[in-house]
């Protein structure tokens, strides 16, 4: 598994947390509402929470050498949309268990965020190290191919992460 090089630049990160409301007084009621109302992934499967991320990269061109084009001012952004449950009538003895569950669920979802941030950092480093190209169109094609390849690797890391953690269950993100 690759690790982000020490000192790799950080992307600009924006994160929105979207809540879907659930209600009830018993754990089975909360479970049923999450099963019915939880966010859907790209394949249509429902989950208690879901994190969707978008990584974009940007760069300028240095045409100072007449026969070559080099990327400069490489940067990236990560936009995160995290959907989480919100118990609207949180109270009673179940509230402590609910808060523990939410903390574990957020820990799991933050793992997906970290995959996106790592991808952006890999992209920045890769594009900063990209050698000059004969022209700027070639430089852009190579940069975008590298960026898209990294996004595919990050999506694969997300799938592996969910498989390894059983969608957060091994991290305590289960509620029954």
Distance spanning both ends of the chain, measured CA to CA: 34
How many whole angstroms separate alpha carbon 26 and alpha carbon 137? 60
Report whether pLDDT(57) > 80: yes
Q: φ, ψ for residue 54 (rounded to 5)?
A: -135, 125
Report yes or no: 49 and 109 within 8 Å, Cβ to Cβ: yes
Stated length of the chain: 176
How far lies 172's CA from each of 26, 99, 168, in Å?
A: 19, 12, 7
Report whether pLDDT(109) > 90: yes
| pLDDT at residue number 67 | 78
Report whether pLDDT(64) > 80: no
The rounded mean pLDDT for the chain is 95
How many whole angstroms separate alpha carbon 16 and alpha carbon 107? 16
- pTM equals 0.93
Measured at the CA of 41, the angle between CA 35 and CA 47, to 5 degrees, comes to 25
| pLDDT at residue number 63 | 83
How many Cα atoms occupy the beta-carbon half-sphere of 163 within 13 Å?
A: 6
* Encoded tokens for 17: 């947390």
The residues pairing with 66 across neighbouring beta strands, listed in sequence order, are none
Report yes or no: 78 and 12 within 8 Å, Cβ to Cβ: yes
């Amino acid at each position: 598994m690759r690790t982000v090089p020490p000192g790799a630049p950080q992307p600009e990160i924006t994160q929105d947390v979207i809540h879907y409301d659930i209600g009830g007084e018993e754990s089975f009621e909360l479970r049923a509402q999450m099963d019915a109302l939880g966010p859907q992934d790209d394949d249509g499967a429902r989950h208690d929470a879901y994190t969707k991320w978008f990584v974009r990269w940007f760069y300028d061109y240095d045409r100072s050498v007449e026969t070559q084009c080099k990327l400069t001012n490489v940067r990236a952004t990560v936009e995160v949309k995290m959907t989480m449950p919100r118990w609207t009538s949180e109270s009673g003895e179940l509230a402590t268990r609910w808060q523990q569950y939410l903390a574990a669920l957020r820990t799991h979802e933050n793992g997906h965020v970290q995959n996106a941030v790592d991808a952006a950092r890999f992209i920045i480093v890769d594009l900063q190290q990209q050698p000059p190209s004969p022209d700027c169109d070639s430089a852009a094609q190579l940069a975008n191919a590298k960026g898209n390849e990294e996004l595919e690797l990050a999506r694969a890391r997300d799938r592996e992460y969910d498989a390894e953690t059983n969608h957060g269950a091994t991290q305590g993100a289960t509620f029954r």
